[in-house]
Amino acid sequence: MALGTGQLSLADIAGEYGGSAPHALSEYYSNGNAPGSGEIQIHADFNGTSNIFTFAISSNTTNLNMRSAAGSAGWDGSAILAVTINSGVVVYSTSTGSYAMVIGGGAFPSGSTLTNNGTILGKGGAGGSATAGDRNCGGAQSQQAGSAGGPALQISNAMTINNGSGRVAGGGGGGGVGGTYGTWGNGGAGGGGVGNGPGGTSQQAGNGSAGSLTSGGGGGGGYTYNHWSCPYGTNTGSGGSGGGYGAGGGGGGAGSGYSYTSGGAGGAATSGNSNVTWSGNGTRNGSLG
């Protein structure tokens, strides 16, 4: 709680900023509005001040380390830290192997908080891709499954998080490739998962679309190619759509009933959930590990 604007004592300052008894003003250099050295004036330097460092994330950012970001903004490591992710802001990852946001690096002062009014989002998985030497019924073929989405938030030290107006979500899994008849041709490629997952490519059919920060991408279209040399023709399925927040990608359409692939799993919302006191749950998509 901030100090008042009336008469203050050294005990009032110690109650707000801590320190070791017997207290002396020299303990409180660089606290409140006090200088780093020289004369401290109790009223001028401490009226209305607080031992809480507030820090807002006001624009989209990637792979955020909360401790490092707060330090760059002027946090001294000892004040209570109050971080806010503003409404409409997305903190997201650029790799399925990395967290969108990390809270760690050592214990935070008691009472430190994160208020998330935006979105913390893992990287989306890639849509499955496909190759084939021939659009019809010949040539070597390869059809990949969609990739898994990445995790959103790692919490290694105790933290109170108010997510009441926000979202913490793993990246969506990538969609699978559409089916073919046997090993002939290609189905459509899978769409990328939400979290900017890349769409897959198909050598003989439609490419999948990339996911965005708000939705998964659509799968590419298949095709029908009837020819006398193929006893059943070639009817390939569409690729699966990329998964939404924390959700798996769709499997490829069956086509003629063979060789379609599955979508990737959705990413985890958290790792280290046992370190969190949730003062507001809000929306959490994906496992709370």
Which of helix, strand or coil describes residue 274?
A: helix
For CA atoms 7, 12, 16, 19, give the dihedral sign.
positive
Where do the structural domains in the chain lie, given as residue ranges?
A: 1-49
Binned at pLDDT 50, 70 and 90, residue 179 comes out as: confident
| 187 pLDDT more than 90 | no
> CA-CA distance, 239 to 218, in Å (whole number)?
8
| 33 pLDDT more than 90 | no
Compute the average pLDDT of residues 123-152.
Answer: 87
Per-residue pLDDT of 14-25, as tens digits, reads 887 888 888 998
Looking at residue 234, what is its pLDDT? 66
Per-residue pLDDT of 79-135, as tens digits, reads 899 999 999 999 999 999 999 999 999 999 999 999 999 999 999 999 999 988 777
Per-residue pLDDT of 247-276, as tens digits, reads 999 999 987 767 789 999 999 999 999 999
| 202 pLDDT more than 70 | yes
DSSP letter string over 44-64?
A: HHHTT--SEEEEEE-S-EESE
| Amino acid symbol at 58 | S
Better pLDDT: 255 or 137: 255
CA torsion angle 281 285 286 288 (round to 10) = -10
